[in-house]
Structure formats: C-alpha cells, structure tokens
Structure 1
Amino acid sequence: MDWGRLTGPGGVLGSLSLLCVILDGVLGATGGEIEHHLEMGRKLLAAGQLAEALSHYHSAVGKLPEVDSKNYLTYYKRAAVFLAMGKSRSALPDLTRAVQLKPDFLAARLQRGNILLKQGNAQEARDDFEAVLRPSPEYADAREQLARARDLEELQEDARMAYHRADYGAAISVLERVIEISPWDPEMRELRADCYLRTGDPQKAIQDLAPATRLRSDNRAAFLKISLLHYSLGEHHESLSQVRECLKLDQDDKECLGHYKQVKKLSKQLDSAEELIRAERYRDAIEKYEGVMKADPHVPYYTNLAKERICFCLVKVKATTEAIDVCSEAHQRDPRNARILRDRAEAFILNQDYEKAVEDYQEAQEFDADSNDIREGLERARKLLKISHKRDYYKILGVSRAANKQEIIKAYRKLAQQWHPDNFQLEAEKKEAEKKFIDIASAKEVLTDPEMRQKFDAGEDPLDPENHQQQGGGHNGHAWPFPFNPFESGGSFHFKFQ
C-alpha cells in the first residue's frame, strides 16, 4: 500500500484522523447494533485490517435510515476504508452521499474533490475545492488542489486541440502533464495511446491502455484494442490472454469472440509448428507454417516468421537450392534478422559457396554480436573457405555436402575408374592421373569415415599435415602417413571395381 499517498496533503488518513475525533462524539447517537459495527470497524481500521473493517461498515450502512442526516459520518468512514484499499470508484458514492446529507461537511468535499481531480473531472473537482474554501479560505490543501484543477482544465483543452490538428507529438507532451495530475482518467490515457499509435509506437500505446482497462467498469473495448496490438506485434499468447479478459465480461461480445477464434487458431498452428521442429519433423513443420501464412496473410509479422522458420527447416533437411531461395525471400522481408542470415549462410555452406556464407555470417554478427551460434558459424565458414582453396573433398567427388555414404562411394568408383593411372600410356598423363587419383582416394577416405567427415564439415581437413602436427596425432589415435598417397603404402596399389 502507498502510505505516502494516504498520509500526505489531502491524503485519506490525514482526513481520517480528523474523522476519528468527530466519530467519538457521534457514536452515541446511533442505534446499539449500528454502534457496535462502527466501533468494531474503527478498531479493525486502526489495526490495519481493512477488509474486516469494511465488512463491519457494510453492516452498519445497511442498517441506516436513508434520510437521517446524522449518518453522514458512517458513509464517510466507509469511503475512507475504500480509499485506504485503493478502491476510489467505490468510495465516490459514499462521499457523495455524505455531502448530500451534510453539504457543509468539508472533509468529505475535500476527499471527493481529490478523487474527481485524479479521475480527470476537473470542473466537478473545482466546485468541491471552492466549496471548501468559501468558509475556510486559509485551507492550504484545498487552495493547492484548486490550482491543480484549473491547470488540468487548460491542459486537457490544449491536448485535445493538439490532437485535432494532428500534432501528436505535442499532444503526447501535454498529456504527460495531464496524466500526472489525473492518473485515474481513462479517457486521457486512451487519447495518449492513440497518439502513440499514430506516431508508430504500439508498445507505449499498450502501456497506456493496460491501466485504462482497470479504470472503467465496462472495459471490453480497451481489452480488445490491447489484444489487437499484441497480435499485430506477433505476441499471440498475450493477445489471446487479453481477448479472454474481454470475453469474461461478455462471452457473446461479437468483436471479441471473432478475434478470439482467429487468434486461437493461429496460436495453435504456431505452437504446433514449433513442437514439430523440436521433434525434428521439419517437413511437417514447413506444412504448418505454410498454413500460418494462409490463416492470416494480412499481418506481416506472421508471414515473416513463417518464411524465417521454413528457411530454417529447409536447411535442416538439406534442400539446398530451395533453402537459399526461401531464405533470400525472408531476408528481403526482414533484412536485419540475424537468424535468417545465419540460416542462409548454412544453406550456402551446403551449396559449397563459402564466400557468400562468410558474408552472411559477418552481416548477421553486425545485428547480433553476442550470439555464440553466429560467432562459431563464422569461424567455421572461414575455415571451409580456406580449405576450399586447397582441397574440397565434396567438389573433388562432385557430390553435395548432403550426400550419403552410398552416393559418395558411387561417385568415387566412377572417378577412380576414369583416373586410374593404368588407363594412361604417356608418362606426363600418368603423373597427372596419379595426382587426381590421390585426391579422389583422399576424398573417399575422409567422406566415408564419420569422424573425419565431421571434422571436415567443421572446417578442418583431417588429412592436412599442419593439423596433424598441431594436434599431435592422426585418425583414430594412430599416426597417419602425410600426405595421403595410395601408391606409397609399400608395393603396388590395387583397386577392385564391382
């Protein structure tokens, strides 16, 4: 509880202390049962047990004669408890009833004026403060609040004028001061939210609309607007939560119900697609995301997200050409998205286009410098680019990086038959064939061994003597004869082709 608000100038408990003195003289004038409830309420209030105190004041008020002017203090006392509990809307009718029963009851007028001022009802608040000052012109709190009420009237008019001439920045600036004086005014918060929307700041609009939902008894429109904003920002779970608040107030509200069905359907598709990705069912996830684009093609966020995730899935299933096309389209739609650049870089690696992979990873790092995935990917792409200037085993065999073992062996056999040195008669041709044959055999050796292939895919050539010397070992822990040469293993090297 904000005790400063309650005990400061014009605060609830400041007036409450005055009231307690007055109550001591009024309790004897009530009936026995009413007096009991009032006394219990006073004790519980003093003990800080507000809910229990309120219960007794409800009982006391329920037994009061409607027209007995002596009962004004009971209404005031219950209003004070409401205010201490932060329920200003509930306190207002009791304060009004107290003023009706005793028009010169200044404490009630001052408290009512304070509430009206915070609610943005400047003229009504001014009337109350002027009523307090007529018999007590020296009342400092009332003078200060009256000045604030007059300021509020002028500021409200300035804000509306700025809004109507479409000077939304100026309106926001004035509304800052308005809301400082009247933080419980939903109309001014909604006006500022609209200004934020017109200046392209939906997040700040949401921040103003959220308290506005608590300041109206029927706040379905605000809940729907917040839901729509969250939805447009891609925050579908929060959108669903807000539109449900609208339906709690009226389950048949046509606009809220229609939006709820739309959000629920899309949210279910998105959640399902991500579950499929976690289960590595990438083709099924692609189908789901294609459904997302059809479900709501009018909100760019969801189409952009779908393109991004389809790009990711296509890389995972190694559909290289399609992945590059979709990732490029996704990049055009969302140029600063580091994840798309990362995924397209991986597609370029699958396509053995290492220079483009390095370029994409470098650009991705500009947008997300703290990502370990991007940093490690860039390092790997650079290694692969360096290796490609020496020997690229995939290119030697003419297979894609997604090729399986059977495809690699098939390519090897075809090239080995073509370039076996025994097929050539001239010495120069034999030497050239032998060189090519060594590269072909090396490629087959690396790419059919899971451990060596994994190293090569990570940007390290397992047959490079430099790597061998740095690591102090060879394949599977055994020394490896560098450079790899099938013709220098002691005796003739024979191949059996099936």
Structure 2
Amino acid sequence: MVSMEHVARKILTYVPYVLVLIDMRYEGVNCGREAGVDNHMEMGKKLLAAGQLADALSHFHAVVDGDPKNYLAYYRRATVYLAMGKSKSALPDLTRVIELKPDFTSARLQRGNLLLKQGKLDEAESDFRNVLKAHPSGKEASEAQDQLTKSVELHRLVAQAKTRYDSKDYSGAAAQLDTIIETCVWDVASREMRAECLIQMGEMGKAISDLKAASKLKNDNTQAFYQLSTIYYQLGDHEMSLNEVRECLKLDPDHKQCYSHYKQVKKLNKQIQSAEELIQEQRYEDAVSKYEAVMATEPNVLHFSNLAKQRICHALTHGQQAARAISECSRVLQADPHNVNVLKDRAEAYIQEEQYEDAIKDYETASKHSENDRQIKEGLEKAQRLLKQSQKRDYYKILGVKRTAQKKEIIKAYRKLAQQWHPDNFHDPEEKKRAEKKFIDIAQAKEVLTDPEMRNKYDHGEDPMDPESQQGHRGGHHFHGDFHNFQGFNPFGSGPFNFKFNFN
C-alpha cells in the first residue's frame, strides 16, 4: 500500500514544473493581449489618418477595453470624437488622459478649449494656466495665453450681460450675448438668456434658434421644449407646437406645464385638421362650424383667429354663399389687405354675385403680390369676360318676363322685384351694395320696356341705357356712379316712374 506521505512527496516533486507551465501560459496570454492592443492602436492611427473615423473609433475602443490605463488611446479616441463633432464624448476622454498623465499639456489645452466653448470659463482658465505653468514658452503656451485672455474678457461680458438683463435692457444684453456666443457656442445658459431677450424684443424666430440649440446641448431640457412649443403656438404653428410639447413629455410625462399645454394644442390641432378634411369633402357648412369652434377654443391668439376667418371665407365662397363670403373675406382684408388667398376667394364670391368690377379689382391687387399665380390670371380673365357680357343687359331676363310681355305684365313684375330689392330692406353694407345694383337694373329694365320708343330701340339691338350707344344722341339715359340716396319713389303708385339720385 502506498502511504500518504509518499503521495505528498511525489506531488511536491512536480509542483515547480506545474508552476513554470502556468507562468508560461500566463505570459503567453499577456503577450497576445499586448500584441492585440498594439495592433488595434496601429490600425486606429492609420484609419484616422485616412479619415475613416468610424472604423478608427472602433479600434481605439478596443485599445481602451484591453488597456484601460493607456492614456494615448484615450487621447486618440478623443481626437476622433472631435473630428466627428462629438465634443460631449471627447471631454471625458481628455479628462481621463489628464488623470493618467497630468503633464500631458496637449490634452489639457484641448480640454480648456472645449470648456471655453461650453461657457465653463473658470475651469477653462484653470487648464490654460496649467499649460502656461508647465510650458511658459512655445506654441502651446502662446495658444493658452490667447485663450486665457479671451476667457477673462468673456467673464467681463457675461457680468455686463446679466446686469443689463436684470435691468430689462434686453437689446443691450442680447448684443453682449452675441459676442459671448461667438466663442461659447455650446453655452446653454447664454443661449437661454439670449432667447429670453429675443422673446421680450419680439424676435421669435431668432429665439427659436437658440432654444433648439439649448434643447440639444442640455440633457432633459424640458423648459426649452416647453418654451419652443409656446412660441410656435403664439406664431400659429399648431403642428410644430404639438411636436415640441411631445418632446417635453417624453422627458417628463408628469410635467404640469407641458401636459396642460399639450391638451390645449392637441384639441386645437384636431379641430383644424377636421375642418380641413371637411373642406376637402366639400362639406363647407360643417367646415365653417368647425372653424368657428377653433375661434372659441383659442380666442386669444390672433394667428388662429385669422386662420379660422380666412378658411371660413374660403368655405363660404366654395359653398356658393357669396354674400356671407364677401362679408367674411372683407373683415380679414381690413386687417391684412394683401392676403392673396383671401383676395382670390372674395373675387370669386364677387363673380358669383355678378359684381365683376369688384372681382377684377381684387384679382389685380392679388396679382401684384403673386405675379405667377395661374389661378389669379385665369380668374381675372374670367371676371373681365363676364363684365363685358354683363354690359349687354337682357332687360326681359332682369324682370323675368317674355319678350312678348305687355306693359301691364312688365309693371307687375317690376313692382314685385322693386319691393324685394329696395336698398332700405338691407342693413349689411355688402348686401346693401348688391341690392342697389339690382334695384337700378330693375328700374332701368322697367323704364326701357315700358317706353315704346326705347323698347323698340332695344329690340333692334340698341341699349338706350348704354352710354356708348347713346353718344351723340340727346336725351340719353345715363346711370353711373354709386347709389347714395333714392328719393321720391313709389313702386306701387299710379304716377309715372321717376328717378331722383343724389351723387357726390
């Protein structure tokens, strides 16, 4: 039987050989790992030099993973990040380089420059001073001194900007902040302050630019998204407002301001989309009602009120409600006389009401502000053609009688229409204007068709009421100018018909 002492002696005999083998295997692994790290480093350097940044980055990642204390790997990876425009990622790597090798001034100078761009002036100045302390002369020292001088000046400008902002000198503060942001391009605080200045100055477009930058530069910047949403809302861009407030809620679903604003914008957005769908479906009366609901939902933002009024004008025009359309369009044009779309809609409504001269005026005004609009050109040609046709009036058609009608029938038709279209029956200015034109046409038709001589001329192609056809004829009947006052008229009296007009 082999004793335990014998076995132990045998094991001890082989231990040195086992330890040697283990040690050799460990050294082999180490050598392999070091060789792999070196290979990744060389490949990364070559790819960086060739501008293949994404591939270079993957190799430097491998070096950092394989050798976490390799400061050059962090430095080169930071260089790739900077080349890719990823300064946020570069900054931690530069900080790690300085931790591993405090005297690496190139990394410290680069970090100082990044901190300066972020507006972290105290930290940037500390890096620049450290560079100057380590290397009082040379290229790096010269750059560090320049940047240090710039940072000190920026400190002064920041203090001045805050003072002016606090005293509500928004224009002066914005001017100072312009200079600061030229250097501190990633400074969130300066951009947010300038955005507030611009809002107070009414320059919303510029404020949006700063707030968008602030929302990207600062993580979880719910306030920037909220401000963007409210600005877009005030500008009447409900879709962009909805997009920005949703970004706020993605970051913080319980954000009270964003959630309250979201409900309002979503409701308004849904109403506007629904109204536009109704217009597309040619359900114009329903579209009008929906846009009236838009005005009720948001009565305080002028852009939405104006949008609703414009679209109501459009829906009424296409819904063949010309009189109402003219009235609504005219209200919009009082505030915005050069609104091309509303001018086109009102012109079309004028055509429906046979007010061709007014239609021509609107199309001509619209064409001055939109010269290449085909719809305007076609509309203007149509209005001009219809005006020319309308000047050749059909008096029988105006009174609704046959060409063989007797005088008694003509007078009866005239009295009925005169009662219907007397201007005193209308109070709306546009409707009254329309009635005046109709009333004059009715009166002229009655005068021509009840006078044997004039009726004979008319039946032979000559319009006794047409100034051009009456040139050189004495006693011609001329009707022109605006209808201001109609006196002494009794459409039901037995006496002869008599026009008495007062003109300015």
TM score, norm. by length of structure 2: 0.68
1:103 counterpart residue number: 102
Q: 2:264 matched to which residue of 1? A: 262
Q: Tell me which residue corresponds to 2:162.
A: 160
Cα distance in 1 for partners of 2:275, 2:460 equals 47
CA distance in 2, matches of 1:306, 1:239: 18
**Distance in structure 1 (CA, Å) of the matches to 2:406 and 2:202:** 67
Count of equivalent residues: 395
Q: Are 1:323 and 2:322 an aligned pair?
A: no
Structure 2 CA distance for partners of 1:429 and 1:78, relative to 1, 3 Å: closer
Q: Contact 2:232–2:241 (CA<8 Å) still a contact in 1?
A: yes
Task: Give the letter for the 2:82 counterpart.
Answer: L
Alignment of 1:333-348 (within 5 A): 333-348=335-350
CA distance 1:243–1:428, change in 2 (3 Å): closer
Which residue does the alignment assign to 2:211? 209
Superposed displacement of residue 194, structure 1: 1.7
Distance 1:333 1:203 in 2: 22
> Is 1:51 aligned to residue 50 of structure 2?
no
Distance 1:122 1:156 in 2: 10
Q: Distance in 2 between matches of 1:396 and 1:133?
A: 103
Matched, 1:397 2:397: yes
Structure 2, unpaired ranges of 5+: 1-29, 413-448, 462-468, 470-504
2:87 matched residue in structure 1: 88
For the structure 1 residues 215 and 434, does the alpha-carbon distance in structure 2 shift closer, same or farther, using more than 3 Å as the test?
same
**Structure 2 counterpart of 1:481:** none
CA distance in 2, matches of 1:330, 1:392: 33
Does residue 1:231 correspond to 2:230, yes or no?
no
Match of 2:497 in 1: none
Q: Secondary structure at the match of 1:111?
A: helix
Corresponding residue for residue 151 of structure 2: 149
- Displacement of 1:184 after TM fit? 1.1
Matched letter for residue 55 of structure 1: S
Counterpart check, 1:299 vs 2:301: yes
Matched, 1:136 2:135: yes
Larger radius of gyration: 2
More divergent stretch after superposition (223-232 vs 42-51): 42-51
Superposition deviation, residue 308 in structure 1: 0.7
* Native 8 Å contact 2:60 2:73 kept in 1: yes
Distance apart, 1:429 and its partner CA? 4.2
1:44–1:50 CA contact under 8 A, matched in 2: yes
Counterpart of 1:134 in 2: which secondary structure? Answer: helix
**Partners in 1 of 2:345 and 2:150 — Cα distance?**
58
The corresponding residue for 2:4 is none
Shift of 1:47: 4.0
Q: 1:366: how far off?
A: 4.5
Deviations 1:94-140 (A, max 9, x none): 22222233322211110100100111112221111111112322222
Q: Distance in 2 between matches of 1:174 and 1:77?
A: 36
**In 2, distance between residues paired with 1:428 and 1:242?**
72
Instruction: Note closer, same or farther for the CA distance 1:219–1:415 as it changes in structure 2 (3 Å cut).
Output: farther
* Counterpart check, 1:275 vs 2:277: yes
Q: Which amino acid aligns with 1:51?
A: A
| 1:307 Cα deviation after fit | 0.6
> CA separation of 1:300/1:429 partners in 2, compared to 1, >3 Å: closer, same or farther?
closer
1:217 deviates by 1.4
Cα distance in 2 for partners of 1:173, 1:416 equals 82
Structure 2 counterparts to residues 364-375 of structure 1, below 5 A: 364-375=366-377
| Partner SS for 2:219 | coil
Alpha-carbon RMSD: 3.6
TM-fit CA distance, 1:202: 0.9
Residue in 2 that maps onto 1:450: none
Q: Describe the shift of the 1:217–1:290 C-alpha distance in structure 2 as closer, same or farther (beyond 3 A).
A: same
Q: Which moved more, 1:151-160 or 1:308-317?
A: 151-160
**CA distance in structure 2 between the partners assigned to 1:105 and 1:438 by the alignment:** 108
Structure 1: stretches of 5+ with no match in the other structure: 1-26, 400-410, 440-463, 465-498
Q: Determine what percentage of the aligned residue pairs are the same residue.
A: 47
Residue 37 of structure 1 deviates from its aligned partner by 4.5
